[in-house]
Amino acid sequence: MAIEWKGVMPAVTTKFTDQDTLDLNMFEVNINAQLEAGVHGIILGGTLGEASTLSDDEKSTLVRTTVALVKDKVPVIINIAEQTTKGAIKAAEKAKNDGAHGLMMLPPMRYNAGKKETLTYFKEVAKSTSLPIMVYNNPVDYKIEVTLDMFEELLKFENIQAVKESTRDISNVTRIKNRFGDRLKILSGVDTLALESLLMGADGWVAGLVDAFPQETVAIYELQNAGKIKEALQIYRWFLPLLELDINPKLVQNIKLAEVATGIGTENVRAPRLPLEGKERERVLHIIENGIKNRPQLPNYKNLNSFITS
């Protein structure tokens, strides 16, 4: 399946049972909610997916399960976050064998690789696989930036096709478009900059709060894509306090609480993460409850030709 690298692609959470095993039943509930809302892809094993706590077998189970659930309606993408080049190549091979349609790739983990080392890491993986790749560029959290000059080198490989843009510099969208045009697709990776990025020319949105609010997230994308900016802004302004739960060290716990509130998830996280408690929990619950209480009525965003503004 070819990947267009556009639209809303949820970075889905991994569901766990009370016994700390994969909760595939609730996982299916959430994936079906995403598909019903009209998402354009599913991304597994990212930060929200608690990738660092998952075994290789669990990652394979998630990929195989998701591929079976989506039935080629949307591409299934698995994140690669490895410490070694050899490990990343092996993970890419495993992803393809499991049926994944594409990869999202972070630079090497733990070791603060230099420019040449980072480029070699991405190039070696790209040479080893036919799967399309989206580079996850998040120097704020992962301390390595993939610069535009580095992308110039990486784009010599046809299967390096997109960037998850998480630098927090909104002007980077314009810089990338000016330099690479449509050769490098851009997906915003920061929930609180998503609409701004889309309006500046980003092609899509790797979203977090979509895990709990899939319809609202897709509605924002579809409305702005159809030029209905005012309508998209109305939903986005309501959404912002919830979106801010994504730019927090406890984003996994925050978003899982929101999934519980909307009926498409559980609160279970895998240690060393622990559920929120005390005043921190009360604060997050207040934001979620207030958002649900004021949840906007959505237009028929799946059929915008029939949508008439008031």
Residue 80 lies in a domain: yes
Give the integer Cα–Cα distance in Å for 45 and 53: 10
Instruction: Tell me which residue range forms the domain holding 47.
Output: 7-304
Average of per-residue pLDDT values in the chain: 96
Residue 206 lies in a domain: yes
Q: pLDDT band for 146, please (50, 70, 90 cuts).
A: very high
Across the range 124-146, mean pLDDT stands at: 95
Q: DSSP character for 22?
A: B
Residue 142 is predicted with a pLDDT of 87
Burial class (CB in 10 A: 0-12, 13-18, 19+), 220: buried
Residue 286 lies in a domain: yes
| DSSP H/E element including 124 | helix 115-128
Token pair 């892809």: residue? 41
Residue 207 lies in a domain: yes
| Number of domains the chain is built from | 1
Query: How far is C-alpha 284 from the geometric centre of its chain's CA atoms?
Result: 21
Give the integer Cα–Cα distance in Å for 295 and 300: 15
- The DSSP string of 238-290 is HHHHHHGGGSSTTHHHHHHHHHHHTTS------TT-----HHHHHHHHHHHHH
Q: What is the pTM of this model?
A: 0.96
Residue 2 lies in a domain: no
Q: pLDDT band for 310, please (50, 70, 90 cuts).
A: very low
Residue 285: what are its φ and ψ, rounded to 5°?
-60, -35
Residue 277 lies in a domain: yes
As a whole-number percent, the residues of the chain with pLDDT over 70 amount to 98
CATH number of the domain bearing residue 170: 3.20.20.70
Residue 1 lies in a domain: no
